[in-house]
Structure 1
Amino acid sequence: MAHLSSIVYQPRDLTYEPGATDFIRLPLARVELVAGQGLRGDRKAGRNPDRQVNILSAEWLATAAARGYRTAPGQFGEQLILTGLDVVALPPGARLRLGAAAVLEIVKGRNGCTRLEAAQGQTIAGLGPIGVLARVVEGGEIGVGDEVAVEDNLLVETETENRPVIA
């Protein structure tokens, strides 16, 4: 069964210094997902309905780490890391249940940008899709270790050996 292995966020009161390249992300054991907003207390919560939550797969990160990318939680700008689920294989509209109550809906795949390249200190060309962006459709508290299920029996297991994750 897939599970939530990391939660990080950028507190609203922390801002980037001029010229900073790293992402500011702090770890959390638990957080409330707020419907239509994102992670409670996150700097980006409520700003863009299509970018409320940024999700990566732990297996994808392991492949990126083997290629020399920095992959500690938050270093790809993500907020959630899921283990045992290939999130980039989920189509837009797929819904994930996290913990007892929270539901996320996949909006679209996430591609890198120059900000991510600056944070990584190298090109991200050839990485392919970098996780997914989701919206919170049902709020609730989530925590590291919570089970994650794809609703409507649309479970997509991680297949890093069968699908090129990083070209």
Structure 2
Amino acid sequence: MAARVVAVSRSGTHSFSKPNQETIRLLTGLGVEGDAHLGTTVKHRSRVARDPSQPNLRQVHLIHSELHADLRDAGYEVAPGELGENVTTEGIDLLGLPTGAVLTFGGTAKVKVTGLRNPCQQINGFQSGLLNKVLGRAEDGSVVRKAGVMGIVLADGEIRTGDPIEVELPDPPYRPLEPV
């Protein structure tokens, strides 16, 4: 299956879920036009409280639709945008990408993957018990984060449902994704 965009979402407020849109526009070095997380410095409220001058490595949030399917199998109903993602993908192992991988959407818009989303308690406010489904443990006891990846915008462009996604890996050695 070729990698593609399932849905695009944005919200101008710091709401948990983001309504789906026909298109979203990425702005180089800033994020999603009209989204509350747009900017060169951190916009997530907890991070702003700690240090508002930190670079914004979370300009774009991406989740794989396969997570939604897994959650449905576990008894949860989650639709694109409801976990706060800007781009819902299909056919790409987002969590398996290395740090620095570049995703190109529709041939123009580019996002560089900076790390994993670190899910928080707000997910349980959306649906009770959901946090335990997007966090797990590996055989070695380490935490496995399943709530998508974060990235920064490298090139302007519009993204719409159905757009193809191309992946460009960085030069080896690859660095595994860590929470950002």
Mapped contact 2:117–2:149 kept (Cα < 8 A)? yes
- Equivalence for 1:161: none
Cross-structure match for 2:123? 116
Q: 1:133 & 1:93 partners in 2: Cα distance?
A: 11
Structure 1: unaligned runs, 5 residues or longer: 17-22, 155-167
Distance 1:15 1:137 in 2: 23
Task: Output the TM-score relative to the length of structure 2.
Answer: 0.74
2:30 corresponds to which residue? Answer: 37
TM-score, scaled relative to structure 1: 0.80
Q: Alignment length, in residue pairs?
A: 146
Please name the residue that 1:2 is paired with. Answer: 3
Partner secondary structure for residue 125 of structure 1: helix
CA distance in 2, matches of 1:9, 1:121: 24
**1:127 deviation in Å?**
2.5
Tell me the distance in 2 between the aligned counterparts of 1:42 and 1:100: 22
Which position in structure 1 is the counterpart of 2:156?
Answer: 139
Q: Distance in 2 between matches of 1:123 and 1:4?
A: 24
Helix, strand or coil for the counterpart of 1:113? coil
User: Which residue in the other structure is 1:164 paired with?
Assistant: none
Query: What residue in structure 1 maps to residue 76 of structure 2?
Result: 69
TM-aligned CA distance change 1:153 to 1:43, over 3 Å: closer
